[in-house]
Amino acid sequence: MSPYYRPVRFDWWRKRRAYTLFVVRELTSVFIAGYAIVLLLLLRRLAEGREAYEAYLQWLATPGMMAFHIVALAAAVFHSLTWFSLAPRAMAVRIGERRLQPRTILWANYAAWAVVSAIAAWMVLRA
Amino acid sequence: MKTGRSSEPIWWLLFAVGGTVAAFLVPVHIAVGGIAGPAGWIPQAFAYDRMVGLISHPLSRLYLFALISLSLFHWAHRFRYTLAEGLRLKASWLPIPIACYGSAIVGTILAAAVLMRL
Amino acid sequence: MTSSVSSATITLEVLRYRPGRDQAPAFQSFQVPYREDWVVLDALNYIKDQIDGSLSYRWSCRMGVCGSCGMMVNGTPRLSCAAFLKEYYPATVRVEPLEHFPIERDLVISLDDFMQKLPAVRPWIVRQDDRPLDAGEYRQTPAELDWYKQFSMCINCLLCYSACPVYELEPRFIGPAALALVARYNLDSRDQGREQRQEIAAGPDGVWDCTLVGECSTVCPKDVDPAGAIQRLKLSSALEWVKNVVLPWGRR
């Protein structure tokens, strides 16, 4: 008498909320790659000269590209939050005999994120 | 049997480093360069001459190269597994990793080419 | 005992499968008395004793230690001895065998796959230099114990495999509990078997299959955190690869 094998579900990611959030988390990478391509094109236009660059900036200001960047920003922030919350589990940091608490690593990540973001923004914005 | 997966550590490392770099830097880049800049909130910062000056520094170019390339490798790894899980294919079935990592490699080459021309 | 309890009841929908008789599993409903201090396992025992003696399921200790009573309770892998009816009452409770495993009969799943994977990761202390017995035990400080203790709490209940979508799609995947045991022994200061386990752990069905969904750790009744264990194995395997390839003069 043979055991019964339940069929594999195609919509497995809908079975549980955590699965859905997992798929959303993985798909944030599409927006991150999308932004990398936008940035790559920006550099290309920059290399082509003033006119090409300014036309590209105008294209970026169109409602469609604005909408893309707003969604991409939300996706990127979701990526950052989930990444920082998972990172302490891959790294077990030991200082002397004591293991660094995952919560400490998490907050250190947030603090570093704030500092790095501020430096990056300052580099661009200082005139 | 083992040989097919022996390159996994490279891809995972690129993914891990890329994910970390993206987590720290991509939100601020999108907010400043994708929204605030094109919206015209900070016109002087995105003027052509200033941008060219900013990017002329070799360190800026190295930074942008790393940001673009690693973000793409991060995407490639995640997309490879999402594709495999979504389509019921094996993540080690060669066409999938070739398409994903191949795209990231092409993007990396393009980024290097553009940045060297600047 | 009977006089003080109310006459409230709760409905259990139990997935039944009788090999040889049923083509496919089907739900059967049972009305059982509702008691605030009853867990799902108590309700199943009531069914077996009072309503249908043919209902099959595994259980033993009733206190979350033996790891044999894992089931899907309303779609979530739980130990049925730790899932209280009052968490669900007055709604219906749906009980199914652990997902991603073949069903032997009713709520009993086949453990064969895990039983093959478990010894493959060598979940015991491996020594290169076995000391004679009269040399005494291998000693360990509390800090060294603390380094792996969390990963040693596993009771092999297999809830993590039922929560793992990767295992569903790729049944060859060694899986959360067995890989957590790799971490548990690799991190043990007395153990010297890391290289032997590495072939399985970092092999074609090992840690690289994991996409860190993280549900294995969420459902674990012993807070083992298999997802964290697997990430640490990925990191250490990747760093070892760097050492071997980028710095070939380092180890060879």
Residue C73, SS3? strand
Is C188 contained in some domain?
Answer: yes
Q: Which of B80, B76, B39, B64 is nearest to A38 (CA)?
A: B64
* pLDDT for residue C252: 46
Nearest to B2 among C166, C203, C211 (CB): C203
Neighbours of chain B (3+ CB pairs under 8 A): A, C
How many Å apart are CA B21 and CA B26, to the nearest integer? 8
Q: Which residues 94-123 of chain A have a CB within 8 Å of chain C?
A: 94, 97-99
Is C168 inside any structural domain? Answer: yes
Mark which of C109, C140, C161 sits at the end of a domain: C109
CATH code, domain carrying B101: 1.20.1300.10
B54-95 pLDDT, tens digit each: 999 999 999 999 999 999 999 999 999 999 888 878 777 889
Which chain A residue's Cα is nearest to C109?
A: A3
The verdict on A40 and A66 lying in the same domain is yes
Residues C223 and C133 in one domain: yes
Q: Across residues C103-127, what is the average pLDDT?
A: 97
Claim to verify: residue C78 and residue C151 sit in the same structural domain: no
Query: Across residues C45-62, what is the average pLDDT?
Result: 97
> For chain A, what is the radius of gyration of the CA atoms?
21
Which of C85, C109, C133 is where one domain is finished? Answer: C109
Q: Do A1 and C146 touch (CB under 8 A)?
A: no
Distances (CA, A) of C213 to A22, C155, C164, C176: 6, 21, 7, 11
Among chain A residues, CA nearest to C237: A90
In chain B, residues with a C-beta closer than 8 Å to the C-beta of A37 are 107
Domain residue limits at B18: 3-117
Residue A11 lies in a domain: yes
Same domain, C119 and C204: yes
Least CB-CB distance to A89: which of C110, C146, C227? C227
Q: What is the pLDDT of residue C242?
A: 87
Pairwise CB contact (< 8 Å): C238 & B88: no
- Given this model, what pLDDT does residue C98 score? 98
Cβ contact B19–A112 (<8 Å): no
Question: Mean of the per-residue pLDDT values for chain C?
Answer: 93
**CB < 8 Å to A69, chain B:** 30, 34-35, 38
Same domain for C235 and C156: yes
In terms of domains, do A49 and A69 share one? yes
- Kindly identify which residue of chain C lies nearest to residue B85, measuring between CA atoms: C169
Tell whether C1 is covered by a domain: no
| CB neighbour burial string for A80-104, b if at least 16 within 10 angstroms, e if fewer | bbbbbebbbbbebeeeeeeeeebee
Same domain, A62 and A121: no
Please state, in angstroms and rounded to a whole number, the distance separating the CA atoms of residues C185 and C151: 9
Identify the CATH number of the domain in which residue A30 sits.
1.20.1300.10
Tell me: do A18 and A47 sit in the same domain: yes
The residue range of the domain holding A120 is: 91-127
* A49 occurs within a structural domain: yes
Residues C61 and C147 in one domain: no
- Tell me which of C62 and B44 has the higher pLDDT: C62
> Å from C214 to nearest chain A CA?
8
Smallest CA–CA distance from A94 into chain C, residue: C147
Percent of chain A with pLDDT over 70: 98
Domain count across chain A: 2
- Among C169, C202, C242, select the one facing B88 at the smallest CB separation: C169
Q: pLDDT per residue over A12-43, tens digit each?
A: 889 999 999 999 999 999 999 999 999 999 99
Q: Which residues pair with C73 in a beta bridge?
A: C76, C95
**ipTM of this complex prediction, to 2 decimal places:** 0.91
B5 touches chain C (CB under 8 A): yes
Tell me what pLDDT residue B70 has: 98
A110 CA: distance to closest CA in chain C (Å)? 20
Give a yes or no: residue A86 inside a domain: no
Q: How many domains does one find in chain C?
A: 2
Residue of A nearest to B55 (CA): A43
| Other residues' Cβ atoms within 10 Å of the Cβ of residue B7 | 13
Residue numbers in A near C151 (CB within 8 A): none
Quick one: pLDDT at residue B3?
39
For residue A98, pLDDT over 60 is answered with yes
Domain match, C61 and C90 both: yes
